[in-house]
Amino acid sequence: MKKMPGEDLLPLQAQALAAIEAAGTIEALEEVRVSLLGKSGALTALLKQLGTLAPEDKKTRGAELNVLKTTLTDALAARRETLEQAALTARLAAEKIDISAPPRPEPLGAIHPISRTMEEIAAIFGAQNFTIKDGPDIEDDWYNFSALNIPSHHPARAMMDTFYLNASHGNRPAVLRTHTSPVQIRTMLSEKPPIRIIVPGRTFRADHDATHSPMFHQTEGLVIGRDITLAHLKGCLIDFLRAFFGRPDLPVRFRASYFPFTEPSMEVDIGWDRKTGELGGGDWLEILGSGMVHPNVLANCGIDPREFQGFAFGMGIERIAMLKHRISDLRLFYESDIRWLKHYGFSPLAPAMLHEGF
Ligand code: 2NL
Q: Pairing mode, if any, of strands 195-204 and 131-132? A: parallel
pLDDT in tens, 248-306: 999 999 999 999 999 999 999 999 999 998 899 899 999 999 999 999 999 999 999 99
Which protein residues touch ligand 1 with a CB less than 6 Å away?
181, 184-185, 218, 220, 222, 259, 261-262, 289-291, 293, 297, 312-316
pLDDT at site 253: 98
pLDDT (tens digit per residue) in 243-262: 999 999 999 999 999 999 99
Query: Could you tell me the pTM of the whole model?
Result: 0.72
For residue 319, the ligand 1 atom closest to its alpha carbon is 20
- Out of 117, 220, 290, 309, mutate this one to test ligand 1's pocket (max ligand atoms within 8 Å of CB): namely 220
Report, as an integer, the average pLDDT of 103-109.
86
**Which atom of ligand 1 lies nearest, measured to the CA of 293?**
10
pLDDT digits (tens, 9 = 90+) for 4-23: 667 888 889 999 999 999 99
pLDDT band at 1 (very low <50, low <70, confident <90, very high): very low
**Average pLDDT value over all residues in the chain:** 92
